[in-house]
Structure 1
Amino acid sequence: MTGITFTRHEGADAAAQLDAFLAAYEEVYAEPPYYEGPRDVAEFVDHYQVHTRRPAMRLVIAWDGDEAVGFTYGYFLLPETRWWHNLQDVTLSEEYMREDGHRSFAIIELAVRKAWRRRGVAAGLHAHLLDGLDAERVTLTVRPEPEADPARTAYLAWGYRKIGTSHPWEDAPLYDCMVQELPAS
């Protein structure tokens, strides 16, 4: 990972960084299993702008010189979240699903451009995103297709476990929902 640097941004500063990492998003999500095109990228841009207004939203960008080679972002789940209710194959207790705006941090995106994979960039992004985070747990979703196996393998190595299959909106593909419990601070 020699030469890779990381910058962390929050709130309005994170919103202003979209152009810095959008090319990385487009490159990564054009690949299987996503096959995203211009319409999908436009939807991502719209969603990202909404996400930057969430409490404690954090963005981390990985840089190789002045080139963005990866990014990750997430935010705390709000009390009215549907995150846990989207799980299709498991019944969680009301206590487990209870959110207070500080209990669970959701990683929404974590992506590294192909030429920089398997060099520790994803682990660095993940570590910088969670650095100093005061939460009980972190959750994320990953596609179940074989193309996503390297990501799933990394998440398992970082301490995540699958708790169910998520179907987050009507036309969405299925995702494996994973959780990592964090040590008490």
Structure 2
Amino acid sequence: MMTDVRFDRYESQAAVAQLDAFLPAYEEIYAEPPYLEGPRDIAEFIDRYQVHTRRPGMRLIIARDKEEVVGFTYGYFLATETRWWHNLQDVTLPDAYMREDGHRSFVIIELAVRMAWRRRGVAASLHAHLLDSVDAERVTLTVRPEAEADPARAAYLAWGYRKIGTSHPWVDAPLYDCMVRELSAG
């Protein structure tokens, strides 16, 4: 169980300065299957993260045990011109469902916990802190379909998410299960 884990929140530009704090945890977590990320993947993540910090509503939560980063999560509001819903390969959603206004949907881009801190409630607390006071109709995320991702998928299902389709977000990307959870706000 968590004892001394604290959760620090950073928004938009304040999150930029935190990259160096959580990047070693990112590298450790994403070296594991099914990701097996190497230096090129890490460099691409750094570039994407810099763009993500400029998105509306961007927030980062870092879980720390004393000063050691044990996990992190971040997300932001989908923009009106998002391609998020258009990346789905196996379902056609109604236009009204895919319409975004900049506050309708909050997307979780990353939610990751280092191995030694898993199954202690850290991921659930990161998730709760990230969504605390998010004023959106729904939250969405993607998860890899491989067996190694089953604990994450099980957690998302327990937290009220449902799969709505298979996402292929960019040309060289693997396939992901796109999940959605309706929120009471909106």
Distance in 2 (CA, whole Å) between partners of 1:184 and 1:61 is 24
Aligned residues: 185
Distance in 2 (CA, whole Å) between partners of 1:184 and 1:138 is 11
Deviation string 1:61-111 (CA, Å, 9 cap, x unpaired) is: 000000000000000000100000000001100000000000000000000
Correspondence 1:140 to 2:141: yes
1:137 CA drift (Å)? 0.1
Distance in 2 (CA, whole Å) between partners of 1:70 and 1:63 is 7
- Percent identity over paired residues: 80
Runs of 4+ in structure 1 over 3 Å off:
none
Aligned to 1:11: 12
Aligned to 2:51: 50
Distance in 2 (CA, whole Å) between partners of 1:32 and 1:21 is 19
Whichever residue aligns with residue 20 of structure 1, its letter is: A
Distance in 1 (CA, whole Å) between partners of 2:68 and 2:32 is 20
The alignment partner of 1:178 has SS state of strand
RMSD over equivalenced CA pairs, Å = 0.6
Structure 2, unaligned runs of 5 or more? none
- Normalised to the residue count of structure 2, the TM-score between the two structures is 0.98
1:184 CA drift (Å)? 3.0
Aligned to 2:73: 72
Whichever residue aligns with residue 7 of structure 2, its letter is: F
Aligned to 2:151: 150
Map 1:1-185 → 2, pairs under 5 A: 1-184=2-185
The alignment partner of 1:159 has SS state of coil
Distance in 2 (CA, whole Å) between partners of 1:65 and 1:37 is 28
Distance in 1 (CA, whole Å) between partners of 2:56 and 2:141 is 17
Whichever residue aligns with residue 9 of structure 1, its letter is: Y
- Normalised to the residue count of structure 1, the TM-score between the two structures is 0.99
Structure 1, unaligned runs of 5 or more? none
